[in-house]
Chain A
Amino acid sequence: MATATRYIGKPLKRKEDPRLIQGLGHYVDDLRLPEMHYAAFVRSPYAHAKVRSVDVSKARTAPGVVLALTGADVKGAIGFVPCAAQIPDMKSAPRPVLAVDRVRFVGEAVAVIVATDRYAARDAVDLVEVDYEPLTPVVDPERAMAKGAPVLHEPYKDNVAYRWELEGGDLKKAFKQADKVIRQRIINQRLIPMAMEPRGVMADYKPGEKQLTVWSSTQIPHLLKTQISVMLRVPEHSVRVITPEVGGAFGSKLNVYPEEALCGYLAMQLGKPVKWIESRRENFQTTIHGRDQIDDLEIAVKRDGTVLGLRCKVIADLGAYYQLLTPLIPTLTGLMMCGCYKIPAARMEITGVLTNKMATDAYRGAGRPEATYFVERAMDLVAAELKMDPVEVRRKNFPQPEEFPYATPTGLIYDSANYQRSLDLVLKNSGYTKLRKEQAQLRKKGKLMGIGLSTYVEICAMGPSSAMPAGGWESATVRVEPTGNVTVLTGSSPHGQGQETTFAQIAADMLGLEPDEVQVVHGDTAAVSYGIGTFGSRATAVGGTAVYKCLEKLRSKLGQIAGHILGEDPGKLVFRDKKILSKSSKKSLNFVEAVGAAYVAKTLPPGMEPGLEAVTFFEPTNFTFPFGAHVCVVEVDSETGDVKVVKYVAVDDCGNVINPMLVDGQIHGGIVQALGQALLEEAVYDENGQLITGELMDYAIPRAADIPWMELSRTVTPSPVNPMGVKGVGEAGTIGATPALINAVVDALSPLGVRHVDMPVKRERIWQLLHKPSGRAPAKAAPKKRRAR
């Protein structure tokens, strides 16, 4: 049965938007129930302290307060914050939902207040008296690993959470055969995801029905339901999780947080609905952070630019406790460490370290931006060392298109790619040759202009369950209602990606309907079959494929019904314009008539079950590997160190595209988040473990005026892994763009002998390089070149 693609591949306007542009959408804080109560948390101002006592007596009697609980009060009643990732010999770092006798990061909650309105709850927080005995905080991960450092989690003797290794190929040989070994320490700084909507939870308990409903701004409603059931020891069928509109997440809501279980508990205790809305300061302190790796890189390279081997020692700062996937994230860096290059041997050693900070976890890209960043820096380091053009080094090391599926030494099979094609296109679109000429001219005038390249590959469509901590499949249910509309229920839980539109496009094309006739439902565990969620650029490739498979089943059934009624071979029927028709005989049946037949059940083929609903749990056989090539051009103000991005050109390949407008939107947003990391963003804890970028006043995320116009284009290399040939695009921009910018900045500063700059390229950091080159170990050639200018 052929599918006409009237909607797939078209820039359809989003079905989500009419409600969102009129203020009619409902995020958690927009929901209200009668007798709503509000929770507020008392949080530690210390990074590391013993909690001697928590006195909530004054708060309890404050106006409007109905409940004030400490860690001791809920200790036996609520389980620890869950971590789904297990690494062999990993230390445990259990986190109670409210700290009992010790706090390990600034912002860790020690008590909760519930009051009749949010103002009263906030007032009562100031009335709680906590007696802390400060302990020495452990902030720097390298010092945390050292002997004698204060230990976060006793009875362990040190703060090393785990060590993890991965090796493939003959590394010894690679380094032995190398003409040169290039070494560089590369820091991937700690970031704050900063979704526009902070987290929020609302819980309601109906004692008669024994039903606990939790509304949460989450990416994983089903996993959250299971975890709440486990943490609160409530039968899972008594828990329902609903995710209303979610105002962005970027991985930060791919988690289970103390407040989610606690609000459920409080609602059960009070028999009243309880809501908690995170403040931005809480969001900065207590929602997961991203990245935070120190990568010590060694590159074995031949004189002609062929990279023989790559070795990387990673120190991953995990923070004080494990959130859902904390320990796992750095291992993804290991898997992707060879990037889009045919590097025969690779080795990664990760040391995960516990420090007095918020946990790191999945932030847009989750482990892969780190890999792309250092391998793309590596290519430029090789180019600089061998005085080659970065383009040539990349070409030299790409696998050829015919080598796919391509097996990496890290154990992955890259599905399909043509790296040469995307590189060629980005060079053409950016006018690379001309840019180099311009650069030469500007350098003569003493102007600092830099051109940066990044060719990336990412691992998406997560993923085969064998390689995932807790299932990598996705569910879908597609139901054709008796009147002929279609309901698509997906286990994915989109939060801005637009699957209400793209899944409707798929369904409309597959069934010959209009997208308006398809309603996509997600995020309600009582309505939707168990699912995994939206993260790891998986919604379309995994969730969408589940939908696709349901649609195939329904087409088959509808085809048989129509064939039976029309007396045609079901295999020769097509779905078009709300009809099921035979191309050869031109006989047709209205779609709605075929649907009616399924429900009225009088004219069904013998033995066929009535009804029109299909369920699929789709298990992917492999990940997908989108790729692309980006060019970034910067100008550096030699007086202030200010870096201005003047041009950004991207070519991305995410396989087949369902909605190009939405794909571009994902890439725009991803690039800007990456530029944010490269230019501005850094979560800074001071030596006492205080998060001094504690608000938007000090943590800069890109504003409209900070970034250039982005020129996008696409190549299309379908994935063989799923029937639609899609790959995923949610993280591509974030993964590809940071190295492009940093490579551009290093390129701009290269006449001064600079070969690496750490992110973010804050002005003062650049200014120091420009004005105090001796402080930063410049290359020997620097002074001579400067005279030459």
Chain B
Amino acid sequence: MIPAAFEYHAPKTLEEALRLYERHGDEAKLLAGGQSLLPLMKLRLAAPRFVIDLGKLRGMNHIREENGKIAIGALTPHAEVEHSALLRAKCPLLVETAAEIGDVQVRNRGTLGGSLAHADPAADYPAAILALDAEILAASTSGTRTIAAREFFVDMLTTQLRPGEILTQVRVPILAPKTGTAYCKLHQPASGFAIVGVAACVTVNRSGKIEEVAIGVTGLGPKPYRAAAAEKALRGKKTNPKLLADAARTAAQGVEPLSDLHASAAYRREMAAVFTRRALERAVARALGKKA
């Protein structure tokens, strides 16, 4: 219940934060909303020597349209994503996903950047971020670089972020015409984390042909991934229930699912298929303008 002592810094500018982070290296942890880090610290599974609180940084909590994309500041709480009218209209997948994270209180504090940088294997956002082919902006004292979502997640709790880099913004594309998206999730009954979470983004043309499809899967393995085999099986085909179901069955291909108290690897594998199909069905229906 009580974290170990640490040295606290609350920089007021990103530059200051980057300098501090560079100086303290892996002895420092960044504190955004704290909904992942603080529980670990309270259990003393994490005991960083330095905590750099990003809460006083300005300009990192925003959702705005920029150069044909939507830019979301890393410090934007999940609740603001969930309730954003802009996102609801132009990137509803993120809204639907944010609404599935934790509970109201966690969504009020937890941030998009914090969640992505923590890279919990059962977090919700990564599925959507992958399905959207989002871009992740990372700043360091030597400048800012853009990381493609597909490159971002490396392993459990590990991302492409280098020592000293701070995730500053996420850019997601605006929903293309004739495109439907959906996030379907099987909750772990105690913690609410995803046993399996599937985000689907499907573009269907007037004749019912799937022009583009992207499927992000979280919870199944140590890191979130794109269900490439399923996407391949769908791309260019005319949508029908059997097609979706067959493609969904390949959702866990090449992945060795995790196993825990709540779901064995075999069950997780099966649920990946079920929830991929459900997400695809819902996304396709939305793409076709049906209620789902």
Contacts and interface: CB of A to CB of B under 8 A. Distances in A.
Interface of A: 118-119, 122-123, 126, 279-281, 639-640, 680, 684, 692-693, 696-701, 706, 762-764, 767, 771
Given A119-B2, A126-B44, A684-B261, A640 B190 contact: no
B190 A700 contact: yes
Given A118-B2, A126-B44, A699-B190, A767 B262 contact: no
Contacts of A764: 262-264, 267
B130 interface: no
Nearest to A760: B189
Contacts of B5: 123
A767 B270 contact: yes
A680 B271 CA distance: 19
Which among A680, A692, A767 has the highest number of chain B CB atoms within 10 Å? Answer: A767
B191 A698 contact: yes
Contacts of B267: 763-764, 767
B1 A279 contact: yes
Given A123-B4, A764-B267, 20 more contacts: A119-B2, A122-B1, A123-B2, A123-B5, A279-B1, A281-B43, A639-B274, A680-B189, A680-B190, A692-B261, A697-B190, A698-B190, A699-B190, A700-B190, A701-B190, A706-B189, A762-B262, A764-B262, A767-B267, A767-B270
Contacts of A771: 270
B120 to A, nearest CB: 12
A700 B186 contact: no
B172 to A, nearest CB: 28
Contacts of A693: 190, 261
Contacts of B270: 767, 771
Contact of B262 (A118, A640, A696, A698): A698
A106 to B, nearest CB: 15
Contact of B271 (A640, A699, A701): A640
28 contacts: A118-B2, A119-B2, A122-B1, A123-B2, A123-B5, A126-B44, A279-B1, A280-B1, A639-B274, A640-B186, A640-B274, A680-B189, A680-B190, A684-B261, A692-B261, A693-B190, A693-B261, A696-B190, A697-B191, A698-B191, A698-B262, A700-B189, A700-B190, A762-B189, A763-B263, A764-B263, A764-B264, A764-B267
A639 B262 CA distance: 16
Contacts of B264: 764
Nearest to B273: A639
Nearest to B42: A279
Contacts of B263: 763-764
A680 B261 CA distance: 12
A775 to B, nearest CB: 12
A614 B144 CA distance: 81
A767 to B, nearest CB: 6
Interface string B175-205: 0000000000010011100000000000000
A280 B1 CA distance: 9
Nearest to B195: A763
Contacts of B1: 122, 279-280
Given A639-B274, A698-B261, A122 B2 contact: yes
A684 B5 CA distance: 33
A751 B262 CA distance: 26
Nearest to A701: B190
A122 B261 CA distance: 29
A123 B274 CA distance: 47
Contacts of A706: 189
A588 B270 CA distance: 80
The majority secondary structure among interface residues of chain B is loop
A569 B2 CA distance: 69
Nearest to B192: A703
Shortest beta-carbon contacts, A-B, top 5: A700-B190, A700-B189, A122-B2, A697-B191, A764-B267
Contacts of B189: 680, 700, 706, 762
B186 to A, nearest CB: 6
B198 to A, nearest CB: 13
A700 B187 CA distance: 11
Interface string B1-28: 1101100000000000000000000000
A280 B43 CA distance: 11
A523 B71 CA distance: 59
Interface string B25-43: 0000000000000000001
Nearest to B275: A640
Which among B1, B5, B270, B271 has the highest number of chain A CB atoms within 10 Å? Answer: B1
Interface string B263-291: 11001001100100000000000000000
Contacts of B44: 126
Contacts of B2: 118-119, 122-123
Contacts of B274: 639-640
B99 to A, nearest CB: 13
Nearest to A694: B43
B118 to A, nearest CB: 15
B267 to A, nearest CB: 5
A649 B7 CA distance: 56
B140 to A, nearest CB: 33
A387 to B, nearest CB: 33
A764 B261 CA distance: 10
Contacts of A762: 189, 262
A397 B166 CA distance: 71
B142 to A, nearest CB: 38
A122 B267 CA distance: 40
Contacts of B271: 640
A279 B43 CA distance: 11
A693 B4 CA distance: 24
Contacts of B191: 696-698
Which among B2, B4, B264, B274 has the highest number of chain A CB atoms within 10 Å? Answer: B2
Contacts of A697: 190-191
Nearest to B193: A697
Contacts of B190: 680, 693, 696-701
Interface string B185-227: 0100111000000000000000000000000000000000000
Which among A118, A696, A697 has the highest number of chain B CB atoms within 10 Å? Answer: A697
Nearest to B274: A639
A696 B1 CA distance: 13
A281 B1 CA distance: 9
Contacts of A640: 186, 271, 274
A696 B193 CA distance: 12
Contacts of A763: 186, 263, 267
B39 to A, nearest CB: 9
A568 B263 CA distance: 77
A122 B190 CA distance: 27
A119 B263 CA distance: 37
Contacts of B4: 123
Contacts of B262: 698, 762, 764
B192 to A, nearest CB: 9
Nearest to B191: A697
Contacts of A126: 44
B234 to A, nearest CB: 20
Interface in B130-186: 186
A693 B264 CA distance: 16
Contacts of A699: 190
A123 to B, nearest CB: 7
Nearest to B260: A698
A577 to B, nearest CB: 49
Interface in B250-265: 261-264
A559 to B, nearest CB: 57
A700 B192 CA distance: 10
A366 to B, nearest CB: 25
A684 B191 CA distance: 16
Which among B5, B189, B191, B261 has the highest number of chain A CB atoms within 10 Å? Answer: B189
Contacts of A698: 190-191, 261-262
A763 B196 CA distance: 13
Contacts of A701: 190
Contacts of B186: 640, 763
A738 to B, nearest CB: 17
